[in-house]
Amino acid sequence: MLQKLSKVLALFSPAQPELSVREIGRPFRWPKSTAYRILSRLESSGFLDRDEGTGLYRLGIRLAAYGELARHSTSLQRVVSPSLRALSDATGETATLMLFNGNEGVTVDVVESFQPLMLPGLLGGLMPLHATAGGKALLAWAPPARQSALIRRPLPRYTATTITDVAELIRELEKSRKRGYTTVNGERVEDVCGVAAPIFDHRGDVSAALTVGCPRRRATEKLDMMAEAVMETAASVSAALGYRAHSLVAAVRPAHVGRQAPTGVKRSPTAAAQTNGRTTANGRSHAPERTASNGRATGVMSPRGNGRVSRSPQPVAARARADSAGSPADARRRRGR
């Protein structure tokens, strides 16, 4: 039957989108009764549609759905694959790609970490949306009507930390949209934490999410770094898929919203104190100094409003001392007096 299906489907083309029973049966020398029987089966399976008015057959909507799924999965995985590996290398943890599969999520690509993380059945496995970082990302950025349809009551409990209250879940999803990423804290698998960010397609829709996961003890030390990495990677993939937002990262993470660790996961003082400049023992940060070719610092770098970096002016007192000192020649004349 599959061979017959393949032969029949091959007859349709943009030049011949509709065919009669006679036109379909002629190349195979099928009797009219045989052609009717085969076409009737294909129609009942959704592979062909029959126009009641003309009696002509055309490709069915089921094939269109399969084609869209194949196109989306193939192009998305081709684009994401190198980014997923880079994300795993950058964080040192397992990175995954999750897609919608009905009312659940399905992991379609995995780059495993060189560090141990026991997650059996991860690739190809169906995942609950409310108890995984990737699933929460799919929920958080889904249109309100779809989000409501996907959050089905009651929410199953998998561990002691699984969110089973719908109102609590919705509050967390709103918080996730503001900060730009979702988190999970042992809510499906004990002791496994993760962060995820959404991938936007060229229409601005979200149907996929990138996730980085690791044991809780490692998440404690580098949650912020993981979140930043997954957001930047998701924004890069979105751009490659044709998404054109005013700011790709801002679309996922508006401004610098204070980030919070998942409940039960404490951020380390070092990670909390780190900035783009230097980190001192007391957690205060200083802007990095610009260094000349001779290795001497030539001033403090400060951000302008336009995003460029400028050199901060020398303090007034320092300039006064420099002016009073005069040139090297003036100094020699004073010593000679």
Angle between helix 166-179 and helix 133-140 axes, rounded to 10 deg: 80
Structure tokens at 312: 């901060």
How far apart, in whole angstroms, are the C-alpha atoms of residue 169 and residue 66?
32
Look up the pTM and report it.
Answer: 0.55
Q: Which ranges of 180-311 does DSSP label H, i.e. alpha helix?
A: 216-240, 248-252, 269-273
Q: Which amino acid is at 331?
A: A
How far apart, in whole angstroms, are the C-alpha atoms of residue 141 and residue 181?
10
Q: What average pLDDT values come out for the chain (337 residues) when binned by 10 residues?
A: 83 89 92 91 90 92 72 73 93 92 88 72 82 96 93 91 94 96 93 94 90 88 92 93 62 43 46 38 38 38 36 38 46 50
Domains plus CATH for the chain?
A: 14-59 (1.10.10.10), 68-273 (3.30.450.40)
pLDDT score, position 256: 40
pLDDT score, position 254: 43
Q: Which amino acid is at 200?
A: F
CB 267 within 8 A of CB 220: yes
